[in-house]
Amino acid sequence: MAQSLIIGIGNPDPEYHNTRHNVGWQFLDFLAKKSKAGSFEPQKKLASQLAKGHCTIKGKEGKILLAKPQSYVNVTGPVVAKLKSFFKVSNNAIIIVHDDLDIPFGNIKLSFDKDSAGHRGIESIMKSLKTKKFYRLRIGTSNPARVKAWDKPTKAKEAFVKDFVLSPFTPAERAKLKTVFEEGLRRLEQK
């Protein structure tokens, strides 16, 4: 049994793979290399791609299971519940990796038992698990354009957010992601 189930959320269609909303999957690709997990293998009955590796998480060396649900971000919850049940892990062994619009790009936060802050994927997971008591590695994606959009009327703000999270990282942001991911791994190792 894995000591940690680390789930990166993202959209499965190829055109979304390098977008901000799929930064959870991008982090899992990084973590798979670091933990020598090998390639992700499709598991149709779990609606996920899975990889297994070894890594230090929360100060303990052990097996980790990496999962990329093959559902859209906003409806990830049922897949996460299926993974939790199948692998018989407790809520505090679950780490969800996702984008966060409230955190500036380049920053990362590890949290436990926090509200969704409007992230629909996290809301879906909370609804399916019937709790918010799980870990979240929140990777900041906000930039100055997003900050300016917050002052717009609701419909304009919603349209901007949708376009923003589904757009790719800029070349400068892409160059910085490895450093961000390394910091994310340090947070997981220590927590």
Name the active-site residue from 17, 21, 54, 119.
Answer: 21
What is the spatial distance between Cα 41 and Cα 54, in angstroms, rounded to a whole number?
17
Q: How far is CA 19 from CA 11, 45, 70, 94, 170, in A?
A: 9, 26, 16, 24, 10
Return the HEC string of the chain: CCCEEEEECCCCCHHHCCEHHHHHHHHHHHHHHHCCCCCCEEEHHHCEEEEEEEEEECCEEEEEEEEEECCCHHHCHHHHHHHHHHHCCCHHHEEEEEEEEEEECCCEEEEECCCCCCCHHHHHHHHHHCCCCCEEEEEEEECHHHHHHCCCCHHHHHHHHHHHHCCECCHHHHHHHHHHHHHHHHHHHHC
Show the tokens assigned to 163.
Answer: 């376009």
Residue 17 bears catalytic tag = no
Q: Which residues are catalytic?
A: 21
